[in-house]
Structure 1
Amino acid sequence: MPRRPTPIALAAVLLTAALAACSATPTPAAAPAPPSKPPAATTPAPASAGSAPSETFAVGVRQLRLNRGGDRPLPVTIWYPASGDAGKAPKRGATAANGRFPVVVFSHGLTGRPDDYAALLTPWTAAGFVVAAPAFPHTSRGTDNNALDVLNQPADVSYVLDQVLALDTKADDPLRGRLATDRVAAAGHSAGGVTTIGLFGVNRDKRLDAGLVFAGTGIGVGTAFAGTAAPQLFVHGQADEVVKYAAGKAVYDAVPWPKAMLSLPKGDHGRGLLGNGAALRVITDTSVDFLRWTLYGDEKAKARIPEGATRGGIATLDDHL
């Protein structure tokens, strides 16, 4: 008689199936779930009341070579607010702008690379955030694309945060004195969304004040959100052919903290979600205001979210922030 699969083994099979089809032929989207009820506790935990920078920054970029445990190479791309003229392409090695900037760590999807998301991440940087994006050892492009290794990535992200935040006090480092180490968020797309969800559950990183999940699912990491309330923004295309909309919505419904879900009726798993001009502008503006609120304590930014998220009829917003 064959042995019954263990819950862990079953989750592993489901995770592989869910994430291994990143380039699969699109299939019809699942019907959207009904709006969720407001969470029992809606007291947010943003940074102390204040305002985010009103200026737009130039963007600098650098690489950090890390390795967790000696066998998990983690090259990290860091985009940071820089001195100079805003609106130009990121400049390698540019001088960091004056100020202390919150940190956002971003996790890519299966077969992805940090640079794939530059159109989203550089506007975050220009708005006043340092963005650190590792390339994972077994799920980035050019590796063995082992989807199961996603389960090891929350620990990778926490390690990356250790090293990046330490730059604030590292002698002669270009980011010395430029990092707001007490204001940190995690974000990720697809497999990186799974990674991000894991960071707020059994692998909770207590330093995280907020999370942004793009086309994510709880398969493999569960939905046992734990610890201090950390507002969450979910973004999901209702025509997602890889991670069905209903799967992302189920995770969103399980969040016990302040939360919002930006739903794109015509959005797929990535091309429309992060590649379409009009949709990307809505996603960028909404996510920037979410970060301004959660990491700078900017209440005016929070107030702008509902209008900006629904501008042009491209997306709808389930708002319980």
Structure 2
Amino acid sequence: MGRVLRRTVIKSLVVAGGTAALGACTTAPAPRAQPTAQPAPSEPATSKPATRKPATGKPAPAGTAPARSFAVRTEKLSLARGADRPLPTTIWRPDAGGTFPLILFSHGIEATPENYADLLTPWARAGFIVAAPKYPHTAAGVAEFNPIDLVNQPADAGYVITQLAKRGVGPIAAAGHSGGGITTLGLFAGNRDARLRAGVILAGRQIVQTPLTGASTPLLFVHGKRDRTVAYADGHAVYDDVTWPKAFLTVTDGGHVSTGPELRVIAATSTDFLRWSLYGDAAAKKRLPRDATRGGLATLANRL
């Protein structure tokens, strides 16, 4: 890695006094699963959700997102992309038979997958398998902490997707918070993973301005207007440059970490987005504006 890029990475990722603020939504109560509701009016769709058959697994027929809320079970997988890159992965999955879409979730710097249970559990309840690897050099408690290793994480994420896809999954999305948002954007840029049908970027940005590549893919951006760790303007700049179907959820008084009612709005909105983009659920897309603005905590720019 060149010296200029290395300095850019360090400046972007190392916050004065440490990186605890780059962690996850750690203390919020688990958001309740969102009930199926009647669709609300919304602007006409300008693009169709991705319902193509993914590289592996079976596609979910359009419009058949589960109406029920599933019980959730968790499991641990001991994965590794080589001896020097252990990737222990936590899985949240519906406790039911059948094939479900997969979401690969990347944690923030000095966080762990478990820190995000209050967001990932509602996704699993709604009918998604969520796989969250613990990255070897940016997670909390690792022996050799190195934020520059973010540049290697898109390849780690792709490896985990491959291992889960062998089990049989439906369409695949990637999501991540903070440093995990950087990782997620990497999967749509220089490390493009052609299997991805959607992406959710929470409080993320790009380290180096790199155009997104590959097939047009729906993206949902989520960012707190008062984020002092990853500037709101930096997150919005990526959104502005994207020409694909996209939406931007602005948490009006939100910081880098969202909890309580704000997190419930994020969970509901992202679930709507994933139900539409991975299951082809048109009603979920119509609910997006209403769920995003519930309680007046956030606003939504919607170009999906």
Superposition TM-score tier, normalisation by shorter sequence: 0.7 to 0.9
1:305 partner amino acid: L
Query: For 1:76, what is the secondary structure of its paired residue?
Result: strand
Question: Which residue number corresponds to residue 119 of structure 1?
Answer: 118
Q: Which residue of 2 aligns with 1:100?
A: 99
Structure 2 spans left out of the alignment, 5+ residues: 23-44, 52-60
Deviations 1:148-175 (A, max 9, x none): 001100000000001111123xxxxxxx
Question: In structure 2, how many angstroms separate the alpha carbons of the residues matched to 1:313 and 1:141?
Answer: 34
- Stretch of structure 1 that moved more, 131-140 or 252-261: 252-261
1:256 to 232, 243, 246: 243
Which residue number corresponds to residue 131 of structure 1?
A: 130
Shift of 1:7: 4.3
Q: Report the 3-state secondary structure (helix = DSSP H, G, I; strand = E; otherwise coil) of the residue aligned with 1:261.
A: strand
RMSD: 1.9
Contact 2:110-2:139 within 8 A present in 1 as well: yes
Change (3 A) 1:159 1:24: closer
Q: TM-score, normalised by structure 2?
A: 0.85
Counterpart Cα distance in 2 of 1:303 and 1:19 = 42
Q: Is residue 2:206 matched to residue 1:223?
A: no
| Structure 2 contact 106–183 (Cα < 8 Å) conserved | yes
Q: 5 Å matches for 1:1-321? A: 7-17=4-14, 21-23=18-20, 42-47=46-51, 49-82=62-95, 97-143=96-142, 144-168=144-168, 179-180=169-170, 183-220=171-208, 222-270=209-257, 273=258, 275=259, 277-321=260-304
Q: How many residues align?
A: 271
Q: Any unmatched runs of 5+ in structure 1?
A: 26-40, 83-96, 169-178
Q: Is the 1:76–1:135 contact (alpha carbons within 8 Å) kept by the matching residues of 2? A: yes
Whole-Å separation in 1 of the counterparts to 2:196 and 2:82: 23
2: CA distance, partners of 1:145 / 1:189: 18
Cα separation, 2, equivalents of 1:20 and 1:203:
31
Alignment partners' CA distance in 1, 2:225 and 2:14: 19
Contact residue 203 and residue 230 of structure 2 kept, 8 A: yes
Instruction: Give the TM-score normalised by structure 1.
Output: 0.80
Q: Distance in 2 between matches of 1:67 and 1:24?
A: 27
What one-letter code is carried by the residue in structure 1 that aligns with 2:183? T
